[in-house]
Every structure is written in C-alpha cells, then in structure tokens.
Structure 1
C-alpha cells in the first residue's frame, strides 16, 4: 500500500509533458534546436540557456549559468538601458518585437515572465534589417527620381512650351496693334501655337504613352525607336511579333521596359546599333535586346545612382512575375533577357534563362 501511494505521488508531481508522452530528455533536446532562449533572475544572472543561445552568444557549448546576461551581450549603453526597461515592463505586460545590435549583428527579442524568473527569446534579424535598409534606399531613390522628374517637367514646360507660347503671344499682340503692318505675325503666332501643342504632346506621351491605346504596343515601340534613335544615328533592328490584344497592364509595363533599355543605349552605352526581339510563344513573352556599346559591370552600376534604371526594369519585370537577366562586360556591349508569363503561377509557365 505504501509503495502504491508513493507511485501515485510521483505521477501527480511529474511534469505535464509526461501526460502527452514527452519525456524531460525529449523536451531538452527540443530546446537545443529552437531559437536562442535564456532565463535570468532579477539580478540579470543566467539561470538557464539553451544550446542555441550558447552557440550564438558565447561561440561554444560551455556553461553560462550564473553569469551576468549583459556582460555576455556587451551592449552599447542605449540598447542596454532599453532592454533593462523592457525587462521591468514585462512585470506588467508582454514585451515583444524589441531589438538590439551586437557589433554588426541585429537581434530581435521578446521578454516573458514565469514564476520568479524572466525568460527571453531571441532571433537573429540581421538579414531582415538588411532588406529593410535596401527597401528604404529604394524608396529614397524613388522619391529622388520623382523630384528630378518634376524638375525636368518644370524645365521643359518653362524653357520649351512656355517660351513658345510667349513668342506666339508677342506675335498676336503685334498683329493687334497694326494688322496691316504685322499681318504675317498672325500666321507666325498660329504656327507657334501648333509647335507648343506638339511639345505638350511629346511631354504627356512620355508620361503616359497614349499610342499604346491608339496603335498598339508593336507600333508604339517602332515609333519610340524612330523618335529616339534616328536623330542619334543609331541603327535599330526590331523583330516584333506581338498580339494586338495584349492586356493593357502587360503592354504598358513592356513599353516602359523597352523605354528604359533604349534610354540606356542613348545615355550610357555609346552604342551604334541595337537589336530588339520581342515575341510571344505559348503563354510567355520573351524580350531580348543586345547593343554593341561599351558595356558595364552590373554590380558597380547598381551601386551607383545611375543604376536606378536597371532597378526600374527589374521591378517592372518582377511585378509581372517574370525573370530578368543581364549579360554585360566592359567593351562587349549589353544583353537584356526578359521572360514574362501570362499566368500568375510563374513556376509552371516560366522557363529558366
């Protein structure tokens, strides 16, 4: 009878994990594999640290029991003060999604209470911070690009359209003063108004290519090529095989991509010839462009602000679930290879480049 009582007492005092068939040994092995976890007392001395914590912050599996948490972390004063505050705050409410930096590594952490002890779960978030910084840089570049575009439009309107309209006004005023003497000025004013109208048309076509709706993507690309390359004496070889009923979203993005590629040829490549081939096969649009310019090293260009055009292309292709690849080297020209699927699931429709 005495042995039975002792057995029942042991069962009642066993950890709840045993009720689910989980042994303490299994639980400890589980703790080794998950995120870094540490338990401390009110003096910030370590009561428990799993293997992930020891490897991450000590560099080995040696024991850290009894050591002060902040001596191991070696935080800067601001981060340590904030963590102290969060530990104190955990007495009243949950503390989650906090962070600190240890040298070049960023960690996120949450603080929780169990009994008289304090638990901290940590996670290396360095990659997340890197991506956040990249997004922030892209956002800054986007704002800068928008501001530069506003300045460009303002200059074009003032120096181009504004001056043309002013010249037309002066001619009409002269005609009004003396129609007999300044009879020719009336016709000159009309010609200047026509010129201003054409300049405005060029500006808003660049902002939003209405030719896409009017004549379709293929004709719009040919018109763009003629407008840009003919004055620059650049030979353009175009192989275009496009459906006239291409979805507006795809047509507009492809036009903008081609626009960026053409601008690269004019501004940077110093090329005298470009070959552009766009075709639709099955459920995929293929765009290949090759120029005979000076080429570049993509990594160096993307590190400079001048690489923003390439990021524009990459972003537009990714918006369409496509793939984008560049082949270029100094002195060997540049080749763009773009594949855009017509279905949302790119894994089933997109071939590898």
Structure 2
C-alpha cells in the first residue's frame, strides 16, 4: 500500500503531499494463466484466490486515474495499467512482466497508459479496441477457474481448437459456446489461419483482415452467399438461427482460403514478379474457387478486384528500398503502409470498406448510413 510524505516549503506554504509506495509483495496464492485473458478477469481471479475484495486489490498496485475511479465488472469492460502498476501486479502475481504481457493482451506496450512516476490504472466504461469473449468452459475447468473469465479479443469471437468450440461475446441466456463437432472444416480453417499468420507475420494478419472484409461483403449481399453457408447454419441448429452471430463461423473456411490466395499474389507483387498476365491468371483461379463455393463469380469478383486495385504490381525499376518478402522457412510478408492498423479490431484492420453486419444491400459498396456490429468492450 502507499504512504504519504511531505516536505516543508521555505515560503511557509503548505507542503504538497506525495505518495511513497512500499515495495509490492507476492501474494500467498497464484492463479494459472489463461492465454489472451483480459486484465480485469485475471485480476479478479487472483483477488478471489487470495480473499481480497476487488476495490482493495486494485488499490494494492495503483491509484485510479479518474476521480472516484473503481474496478468494474470484467464481463463488460476492462482495466488498463501504466508500466509502474504493471510491475507491481507482476510481483503480486509471482510472474515476470514479460510473462503477464505475453498472456494478457491489454498489458502489452501499446495498451499501457502513458508513463507516470506513480503506478496508476484506469477502468473506462467502454473498452475500445477489443471485445470480451467468454473463456471456453473446458479450459476454465482445466485451469480450475470459473466461467466468469473473459478473453480480450480483437474480434467478437474466438476458436478453442483444443476443445472444438466457437466462443463469442454474447451474454444472453442460451448463448453458450458453440460446439464444432459437426463442422470440422471450421477447425481445419482455423489451424490453416494460425499457420498462415505465423509464417507470414504482420503481413499475414493484414491479409486475413482483407479476406475477412471481402467475405463479409459477400455475406452482406444475400445473392452472393455460398450455399454451404446455409448448410452450416442448419447444422448449428438453434444457434444457427442467429444469422449475425454465426456469420463469421459459417464463412470462416472460405475467408481463410481467400486469405491464402491473397497472400500468393501479394508475395509475387512484392517480389516484383507479378505481371499483367499473371494477375489475370490469378483472378481466374480465384473465380474458379468461387465457382466451387457456389458464389456467383462475376459480381463477387468485383470485391476482389477492388482489393487488387489497391495492391497494384510494382515495376522492376521501383523503389529499391521497398520491403520485400524474406526468404527461408519463415517467409514473412512486410506491411505496406498500415502497420498501425494491426492494433485495431479485425473489422477495422483492412484497407477495404466492407464490414460484417452492414445494412443488407444489393450493391457491393456499403449502403450510406449502414450499421455495423460493434459489440460492447
């Protein structure tokens, strides 16, 4: 806890009191990490394990930035720390700072509060830049924790590959995790996406965001929906009736396959080996994939061409300093100009305008004033 100290001033004015923080102490009991967990969820589990009320617990590693600030419900928002508060929390949890930052996304450097001498934290009502997704119930049992644990996610959904579940940020009764036993292709697609993003790095994550935006555009236009999407919705039984909730699930395999196709073209482009003829051959392959999915390729291909227009071929005499793909086993793709966007939610990360849940329209361009699903936190 903090103590206060003051120094007298030569002009006789009252001394300004400042806090002197005692060194943090490790708590008696620790809790197992859940990868991707929100800070508030982890802090509540740690406090509960040691029998400390939330208000007292947060006061042990910092003071609130806002007057009358208090820890809130981790189901709906999350808390943020500065570097000094993070160091104290790490000591209390018996972890290294880098361990907490690896496990808890909202403690990573770009999410920390501005640096101050004193440890401080903030718990805003609305958590921008992330969604709170319920932890898989099987993972929770293995970690010996409750279902009131939440992941800090860049999407409204997550996949638990180990336990074959689709997780999301719905909290209404009857919206438990969706089992994927009947949809093995969704699990396969998730594994392929993980491999793609690990192999290509930041460029791979950006390309999946672009593919997700394109397929979201197709989903927003009923005439461009693949028949297999309706079949998957049917297999989801009651959960499949909530079209907006399950949309990312039902088109996930096609989004990943499209991301792989975008990556193939982008690698050629950045190596300056993409020719006009090669571009059209690539478009033919994408159109053939659409035909296999049952998506009308003639109108749907417009969205892909819109993406290609923003990634034009590079001339052989172009900027010699421009980043090129690395060679070797882990052939990462560099980002062109939107590196900052990788810290944004998936729906805001793409260079394309389409977002899942926009007003249904027969036009490929989003309808003016169309709405998008944002979720809370």
Which of 1 and 2 has greater Rg?
1
Higher strand share: 1
Tell me if TM exceeds 0.5.
no
The structure, 1 or 2, with the larger RCO (C-alpha pairs under 8 Å, 6+ apart) is: 2
Higher helix share: 1
**TM-score (structure 2 length as normaliser):** 0.23
**TM-score (structure 1 length as normaliser):** 0.24
